[in-house]
Structures are given as structure tokens and as C-alpha cells.
Amino acid sequence: MITAGIDIGSITAKAALVENGKILGTKVTFTGYNAEAAGRKVYEDVLADSGLEASAVGKIVSTGYGRNSVKFADRTFTEIMAHAAGANFLKPEVRTIIDIGGQDSKAIALDERGKVKNFVMNDKCAAGTGRFLEVMARALEVDLDEFGAMSLQSGAPSKISSLCTVFAESEVISLIARGEQRFDIIAGIHESIAARISSMIARVGLTEPVMITGGVARNAGVVAALEGKLGVKIAVLPSAQVNGAIGAAILASSL
């Protein structure tokens, strides 16, 4: 049976099609203002890319913060379950997932069977999320896609002491005014995210192997800062951003 997973995040909407343990296709679009329309669009796009008709799909599971606006889904699961299912499918040995999305960050501990044992989510504030990076990229006038590579050139990351997005932004602005190098500031921003995330990891307990999912996994600077802070290797799969959607499609196959 072909199944679909749709993950509506705060910034991007993701879709994945899976059949008999094989990924047929994935797609990422922007969520924008209308989560319901974004869900429909990303689903249509992934079907078109894979050359499939909607009638070929047996079951659909939606996840992510906009999961309830996907009216055509058969069932919803929280993104915590979806990321666990995705990780367990792609890399069954994973025991800790770090998921950093647009407005949420999460640390998820899995047991020996890949089931969720414990999880921690960030608070209401945006520190340590993709949104935080977006705000900083704007302040620094750097394209967010270049953030990772730029920060890796830094030998002396700047100190960002505030965890609050608003205060950190003004800290960054004063660092710019002081003439600090852009790549040092960016590396400092990544260090501050890593500090934030590693305190969440400490709450659920760190067990290797560790995998990172969510859009921020594409930022090599954040991954390197996290590896440094936690002292472990972190697996980054090419599908990190669509891991929740893949997990949702896997969950759909056992409905």
C-alpha cells in the first residue's frame, strides 16, 4: 500500500510518499498564512513529482503544528511520534533525536524498540529554533543558507549570553557595531543554540546514536556546535527536514 505523510510546520510544509518500506518521493513548500491550503498544495506537488494519482494512496497521516488543518488525513499524530517513527525507519539504532524546526525544538529519547520513552519541548519562546536563526540572519544581512558554511570558518566564536531572541538580536547588533567578524558572530549564535538544546538533551538523557531532524539540521554550523557541546557524533540524513513527513507516512502504513 502507498501511504502519505504530511507534516505542516510553522515555516514549511512537508510531504512524503512511502510504499513497502521504500520512499517514493518527498516535497517541501512554505506553509505561509494558510496551513490548510499548504497541506493540500504540498500533497498535490509530491503526487505530481512522483507521477501518482491521489487514488493510488491508501492512507494519509498528518503531523506537525498544523496537523488538524489537513482535513483529508485519516489520522493525526504529534510530530514527536512522527519523528520517532521516521528515525526508527531510516536508522533503527537511533536512541536520541534532536528536532529543531521553525518554532519548536525538541529532544526525544527512544527505547530499544524505537518507541518514544521521554521528550522535552522548548518553551513558548523562540530561542534555539529556526525562527531565531531567521531573525539573526536578517540582522546580519546574510542568507540563511550560508550560515552553516560561514560559521565553520570561525576560530573564535563571539559570546552571545542572552537566550532570548529579542535580547540576543540587540546583542548581535552591538557585536556588529563593535566590528566583530560576521562569521564569528554567526558561530556565536550557533553556540548559543547548542547550549540551549544541550540543556534540553540533559533532561531526557543522552544516549547514542544521536540523530538530528527538522529544517535546522541543514545548518552544518549548528550541528558542529552541538557535536562539540555534547561530545558525540550526530547523524544528519539528507532527509532530515522531511523526517517527520516520512514518519507520518510510516505511521499511516500501520493504520
Partner 1 sequence: MDTMTEFREVADQPYGYLQKLKDQTGKKMVGYVCSYTPEEILLAAGAHPVRLFGTKQQIHLADSHLQSYSCSIVRGVLEEGLSGRIGFLDGMVFPHTCDSIQRLSDIWRLNIPFGFHSDLVLPVKLNTPSARDYMTDVLRKFQNDVGRALGVDITDDALQKAIGTMNAIRQSIRDIYEIRSQYPRLMSGADLYTLVRASMMMDRERLAGMLSETVVKMKAKAAGEKPDPSLKRIVLAGGMCNHPDIYPMIEEAGGAVVWDDFCTGARYFAELVAGGDDPAAGIAERLIRRVVCPAKHAGLDRRAKHILRLVKEQNARGVIFLLFKFCDPHAFDYPDIRKSMDEAGIPVLLLEMEDPLPGEGQLKTRFEAFLEMV
The window from 25-33, 77-85, 165-173, 210-218 that contacts partner 1 (CB under 8 A) reads: 77-85
> Is the CB of residue 25 less than 8 Å from the CB of residue 42?
no
User: DSSP alpha helices (H): ranges in 115-255?
Assistant: 130-140, 147-151, 165-177, 182-204, 220-230, 243-253
Q: Is 15 among the residues that bind partner 1 (CB under 8 A)?
A: no
Q: How far is the CB of 78 from partner 1 (least distance, A)?
A: 4
Q: Backbone phi, then psi, for 141, in 5-degree steps?
A: 50, 50
- Torsion angle of the four alpha carbons 229, 107, 97, 234, in this order, in degrees rounded to the nearest 10: -10
> 3-class DSSP state for residue 193?
helix
Q: How far is the CB of 223 from partner 1 (least distance, A)?
A: 24
Query: Would you give the end-to-end CA distance of the chain in angstroms?
Result: 11
Question: For partner 1, which residue of 16, 61, 80, 107 counts as binding (CB under 8 A)?
Answer: 80
- What is the rounded CA–CA span in Å between residue 212 and residue 63? 18
Question: For partner 1, which residue of 77, 89, 132, 183 counts as binding (CB under 8 A)?
Answer: 77
Q: Is 176 among the residues that bind partner 1 (CB under 8 A)?
A: no
Q: Is 121 among the residues that bind partner 1 (CB under 8 A)?
A: yes
Question: For partner 1, which residue of 43, 89, 119, 147 counts as binding (CB under 8 A)?
Answer: 119
Helix, strand, coil percentages in the chain from 3-state DSSP, rounded to 5: 45, 20, 30
Q: Is 89 among the residues that bind partner 1 (CB under 8 A)?
A: no
Q: How far is the CB of 80 from partner 1 (least distance, A)?
A: 4
Interacting positions 124-143 with partner 1 (CB under 8 A): 124
Closest to 201 (Cα-Cα) out of 111, 137, 114, 105 = 105
The window from 115-123, 133-141, 157-165, 217-225 that contacts partner 1 (CB under 8 A) reads: 115-123
Q: Is 43 among the residues that bind partner 1 (CB under 8 A)?
A: no
Interacting positions 94-113 with partner 1 (CB under 8 A): 104
Residue 157 is given by DSSP the state: P
Q: Is 205 or 228 the residue whose CB approaches partner 1 more closely?
A: 205
Report the interface residues with partner 1, using CB under 8 A: 65, 77-81, 104, 115-119, 121, 123-124
